[in-house]
């Protein structure tokens, strides 16, 4: 009996030491950083989710690593969904509005925008704007990843302070103009803009990613049939009189939703996710974006605030 108790005590001691060592490695101190305390106390989500969120934001490269393993896809994530982790596609214009905010915003229960029961709150308070850019954890998984790698933008507190305090060598604070420049440059490279929500990050919106189809793990899961990316709420409309069937929009579309017809481009609206790259890259201005209410409401801060006022 004594030997059993001794074994249990040793195992417990090893687990405690391992957890303390991991914590010290992540925090670089036995005293938690101010942003760690702020993150921990942000809401009353379950302890397991707080720990998951803490690891996710502290070391997203490690957290996301299993998503690159084929056997994980084959055996462990057969039934994965976007219920707890998902991104809403935005046009460049709507992404600009978020990073340019100069007034506090609190929007919850985005039923018409994001069709998931959790992780769909946008809460941005003073100081505004609070922005930071960090290396993309998806691109960190690949040796031949797209460049540049510092294209993921934390938005709002305590996420910005958390990123800056825990990743001082791979992150930096952004001005609004710098954030707008990153979004513009990524769009010119043919990358889409997504606002990400996660239950383990206290059911909140926390980052704007600039995603490429070759590196982004969220887009990879979407291509496997997981509805983790939500439609923007816009659809492209092609003017046949202005379209020259040059093929630029077909090449730039990350969802394979455009093909060349005999005289002009043709859009498959079932495949289209409304990212807007076809419109921004059309040199002849033959493509425009229109609202697609059947696909959802855009993540347009001005529109959402108007809806919130009307509902109140």
pLDDT tens-place string over residues 121-174: 999 998 888 999 999 999 998 889 999 999 999 999 999 999 999 999 999 999
Q: Which two tokens stand for residue 244?
A: 């020259």
**Per-domain residue ranges for the chain?**
38-232, 234-293
Report the DSSP beta bridge partners of residue 238.
Answer: 287
Contacts of residue 272, defined as CB under 8 A and 6 or more positions apart, other chains included, come to: 235, 236, 253, 255, 257, 258
Whether a cis peptide bond, with omega within 30° of 0, leads into 127 is yes
Query: Environment class of residue 164 by beta-carbon count within 10 Å: exposed (0-12), middle (13-18) or buried (19+)?
Result: middle
The string over 3-42, giving b where at least 16 C-beta atoms fall within 10 Å of a residue's C-beta and e elsewhere, is eeeeeeeeeeeeeeeeeeeeeeebbeeeeebebbeebbeb
pLDDT at 36 over 90: yes
Q: Are strands 229-230 and 85-90 parallel, antiparallel or unpaired?
A: parallel
For the entire predicted model, the pTM comes to 0.90
Phi and psi dihedrals of 167, rounded to 5? -130, 55
Task: Measure the CA–CA gap between 192 and 188, rounded to whole angstroms.
Answer: 10
Task: Measure the CA–CA gap between 264 and 241, rounded to whole angstroms.
Answer: 8
Domain covering 234-293: architecture: 2-Layer Sandwich (3.30)
CA distance to 78, 109, 151, 165, per residue, from 178 (Å): 40, 31, 11, 20
pLDDT tens-place string over residues 242-301: 999 999 999 999 999 999 988 899 999 999 999 999 999 999 999 999 999 999 999 999
């Amino acid at each position: 009996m004594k030997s059993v108790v001794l074994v249990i005590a040793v195992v417990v001691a090893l687990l405690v030491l391992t957890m303390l060592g991991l914590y010290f490695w992540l925090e670089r101190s036995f005293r938690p950083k101010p942003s760690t305390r702020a993150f921990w106390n942000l809401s009353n989500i379950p302890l397991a989710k707080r720990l998951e969120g803490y690891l996710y934001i502290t070391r997203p490269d490690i957290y996301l690593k299993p998503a690159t393993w084929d056997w994980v896809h084959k055996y462990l994530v057969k039934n994965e969904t976007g219920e707890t982790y998902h991104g809403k596609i935005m046009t460049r214009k709507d992404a600009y509005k978020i990073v340019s905010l100069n007034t506090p915003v609190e929007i919850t229960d985005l039923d018409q925008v994001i069709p998931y029961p959790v992780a769909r709150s946008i809460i941005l308070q003073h100081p505004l704007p609070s922005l930071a850019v960090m290396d993309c954890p998806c691109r960190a998984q690949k040796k031949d990843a797209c460049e540049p790698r510092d294209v993921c933008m934390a938005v709002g507190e305590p996420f910005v302070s958390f990123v800056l305090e825990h990743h001082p060598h791979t992150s930096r604070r952004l001005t609004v103009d710098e954030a707008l420049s990153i979004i513009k440059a990524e769009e010119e490279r043919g990358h889409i803009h997504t606002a990400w929500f996660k239950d383990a990050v206290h059911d909140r919106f926390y980052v704007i990613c600039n995603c490429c189809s070759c590196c982004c793990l969220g887009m990879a899961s979407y291509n496997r049939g997981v509805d983790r990316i939500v439609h923007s709420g816009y659809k492209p409309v092609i003017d046949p009189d202005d379209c020259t069937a040059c093929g630029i929009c077909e090449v730039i579309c990350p969802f394979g939703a455009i093909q060349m017809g005999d005289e002009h481009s043709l859009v498959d609206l079932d495949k289209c996710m409304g990212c807007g790259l076809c419109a921004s890259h059309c040199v002849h201005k033959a493509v425009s974006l229109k609202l697609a209410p059947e696909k959802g409401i855009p993540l347009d801060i001005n529109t959402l605030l108007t809806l919130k006022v009307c509902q109140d």
